[in-house]
Structure formats: C-alpha cells, structure tokens
Amino acid sequence: MKIVLVNKYWYLRGGTERVLFLTKKLLEDAGHEVEVFGMKDEKNIFENEYFVENVDYTKTMGFHKITQARNIICNLEAKEKFKKLLKDFAPDLVHFHNIYHQLSYSLVEAADEMNIPSVMTLHDYKMISPNYTMYHHGHIDDSMLSKNYYRCLLHNSMESLYKSFLFTLEAYWRVRHYIQQKISAYIAPSEFMKELCVRADWKDLIEVIPNPIEAEAFENYQEQDYVGYTGRLSKEKGLEYLIAAARETPEIHYKIAGTGPDEARLKTLAKDLSNIEFVGWLDGEDLFHFIGESRVLVVPSVWYENYPYSIVRPQQMGKVVIGSDIGGIPELLPENCLFEAKNISDMIARIRFWYMAPASERMNLGALFQKRVERENNSEIYLQKILALYETVSLRRKK
C-alpha cells in the first residue's frame, strides 16, 4: 500500500511522535510506501518539499493574530500543499495523527475531496472537546462531549479568553464541515478513549489498538534509592501533589525528569525540600538509566491520560509503576498500583508500600509488567491490526 502519515511535528516531541515514527518504520519494513506531511522545523527528522512553514502561535502578536486565527480554523496553504502531495504520490490511504491548530482540519477535507480514505489515531481529546486535555482551572471538564462547545468560552476553559474563543470557533467549524464523518475510521489507544467517543455519540468505526513500543535490549541497571517521574512538567500532570507527598515523606528521595510550562512554579513549590531533585530533560540512554535505576516510578496525573508511555516504557523495563486511578491508567496498572487522583495520603501509602517492599517483590511485579507489554504493545501485532483497518476502510470507500 501507499500511505501518507500526517502530523504537525516530525521530531521527537512526545508520545505521539514515538507512535508516529515507529508506525512509519514498521510500514516501510513491511514493504509499504510511506510519504509524510507536516510542518517545517530545523529539528525535524523527516521532511519534504510539501511541508508548510513553521508556525509558533505562542509568539503571535498584534495583527498577525487575525491571520493565524484563520489558519487555525482552516489553513488554506496547508490544504493546497497537501493536495499537491496527494496528487503526486497518489496514496491508497491517509493516516492522520495530530493536525489541529498548525495544519488544521482542512487536510481532512482535502483527502475527502480526492476520495482517499483516511484513519486518525486519537492521541488526545481534541476531536470531542475544544480543550484537548479537557482539564482547566484545576479540574476535569467533560461537559462539552454533547457538542455544546460554547462552554469552552463560557468557562474560559483554555485559561485565555482569546484561545477559548478561537478554539470554540474551530470546534463549531469542524462540526459544520462534517470533519468527523469524513474520516473513515479511528484508532483509540485505550478503551477509555473509545468510551468517551461513544459518550459523545460517535457512530464511527473506532478500533481499540494499544500504542506499540519497539523491542529493546536493556542492560541490568543497579537499583538506586529514589522515586522517579518522567514526562512533561505541566499542570495536568499532577506534580504539585507529588511534591506534597515528598514533603510528607522526607525519608524518601524523589527525582523529576522533564521540562515544561509549569517547571518554574513546581521548582518554587519544592525549593525548601532537600529530598526532591529536578534533573531536566532526559532521552535515550540517559532516560533508560534514570528509569532503570529508580525503585518506583510515579504517574500522578490529574487529567484523563489516554495511553501514557510514562507507564509503558518503565513496564517494558520491568519496573514498578504506580499511578492515578484516572483515564486510561487503570487499564495499564493493577489495583495495588493505583491511588486516587489528587489524594496525597493515598499516593503516599502506595509509594511507601512499593518503596519499602522487598526487592524480590518489585522484581516479580516488574516481570509481570514485561509480559503485559510483550503481549499488548507488540509492534508486529500493532502492524497487523492497523493494516487490517486500512484494508477495511479502503474496501468501504470503494463501495
């Protein structure tokens, strides 16, 4: 098959790109032709002449906000360049990942107008809510599942009136232009994601296909005395609650790996604590060492995590992971590794239990996690499942 993979970023930015790059590799290794489309960036690993100019909406000022607001809703430049790629490459199918804002939903219209079937992997909640995390002002807001998107503006759910207004317009544009219906099928990495789409009254084909992870050969890391966190430093990740737990457990050392918009605030919260350390952004072998040497990994999220690699990667390495009982996390962790979101005393109880447990007990649980990853996140099984879905939507489009 000839397939176009579409995502706004083509450098390793997070979990979305990990799935994207592995999907590309698996398809090409299986003999399929793959072309890509996205936004230009000096950090890109893949790029071609069809890519659109780079856009950073965080630096937009004055009159340029009007132009860029229009492009968020419908980026005509992206649509025309994408149509040129589709005409030149003549793919059998388009696989969309994250396209909103920088590329816009106009790309879905382009594929539909050229009668090319498409699938989309749902990495977040943007297709059912103007706020892709459904988290704002310290709480989860799923009140827009019934398409009453005006609530985004009413409650200022982007914590910026300009963004709330703009993303409300974008959501209503998506509905008016039948974007959801123009995508042939959807991939939900978690059952939780599919359930939310069903609650939003979707009638589309939604296939639950867990995110793949590439097989790795890890060295035997020497366990150290710390509890670790890896990931983005942002409000929805619940790190203020982890810091509060660290304050109550001075006998345990904590290390936080990552960067993000909430970094300065979190460091201020923890400045008087001697048992917490921010180690910055880690990747590759540095990240493997950090995970492998930790006693326990914590995912204290307060939003609806979909299918976090911050759980799957440590499990692949045979490490104990504990996390909030929210979103897709309970699909990945047993009851004795879950704590109530935002409940500091419950989190502390889980941390202490696994931190103080005999090393053999942690190793036994880690071995079970490794088997789960081998079974659920096997890249070859993932490839078989997406190719079967590709075939299904291609046949439906021809009828």
Give pLDDT, residue 50. 97
Distances (CA, A) of 119 to 15, 92, 108, 179: 18, 12, 10, 12
Q: Is residue 232 located within the same domain as residue 340? A: yes
Cα–Cα distance for residue pair 239/388, rounded to 1 Å: 39
Give pLDDT, residue 57. 64
String of DSSP letters for 35-49? EEE-B--TT-SS--T
Cα–Cα distance for residue pair 233/83, rounded to 1 Å: 37
Give pLDDT, residue 59. 59
Q: Is residue 95 located within the same domain as residue 123? A: yes
Is residue 304 included in any domain, yes or no?
Answer: yes
Q: Is residue 245 located within the same domain as residue 276? A: yes
Q: Is residue 238 located within the same domain as residue 174? A: no
Residue span of the structural domain in which 114 resides:
2-211+378-398
Q: Is residue 76 located within the same domain as residue 131? A: yes
Q: Is residue 90 located within the same domain as residue 183? A: yes
Is residue 328 included in any domain, yes or no?
Answer: yes
Cα–Cα distance for residue pair 229/237, rounded to 1 Å: 10
Q: Is residue 87 located within the same domain as residue 206? A: yes
Q: Is residue 71 located within the same domain as residue 169? A: yes
Sorted by sequence, the CB contacts under 8 Å of residue 153 that are 6+ apart come out as 161, 164, 165, 168
Cα–Cα distance for residue pair 334/391, rounded to 1 Å: 35
Q: Is residue 183 located within the same domain as residue 231? A: no
Is residue 216 included in any domain, yes or no?
Answer: no
Is residue 358 included in any domain, yes or no?
Answer: yes
Q: Is residue 160 located within the same domain as residue 36? A: yes
CATH number for position 89: 3.40.50.2000
Which positions of the chain have pLDDT values less than 70? 57-67, 398-399
Between the two ends of the chain, the Cα-to-Cα distance in Å is: 18
Q: Specify the number of domains making up the chain.
A: 2
Cα–Cα distance for residue pair 124/128, rounded to 1 Å: 9
Supply 104's token pair. 């816009």
Cα–Cα distance for residue pair 177/158, rounded to 1 Å: 23
Give pLDDT, residue 66. 65
Is residue 65 included in any domain, yes or no?
Answer: yes
Q: Is residue 196 located within the same domain as residue 233? A: no
Is residue 87 included in any domain, yes or no?
Answer: yes
Is residue 220 included in any domain, yes or no?
Answer: no
This prediction's pTM: 0.94
Cα–Cα distance for residue pair 318/360, rounded to 1 Å: 12
Is residue 352 included in any domain, yes or no?
Answer: yes
* Pick from 108, 128, 260: nearest CA to 179: 108
For 364-384, what is each residue's pLDDT tens digit?
999 999 999 999 999 999 999
Give pLDDT, residue 64. 59
| 62 phi/psi in degrees, rounded to 5 | 55, -135
Give pLDDT, residue 267. 98
Supply 3's token pair. 């397939």
| CA angle centred on 335, ends 329 and 340, rounded to 5° | 65
Give pLDDT, residue 216. 84
Residues in the chain: 399
Look at residue 157 and give its three-state secondary structure. Answer: coil
Q: Is residue 14 located within the same domain as residue 38? A: yes
| CA dihedral sign, ordered 163, 166, 172, 177 | negative
Question: Alpha helix locations (H) across the chain?
Answer: 15-29, 64-73, 76-89, 106-113, 150-154, 161-176, 179-182, 191-199, 239-248, 263-269, 284-293, 309-316, 344-356, 359-376, 379-398
> How many angstroms from the chain centroid is the CA of residue 57?
20
Contact 20, 6 (CB under 8 A): no
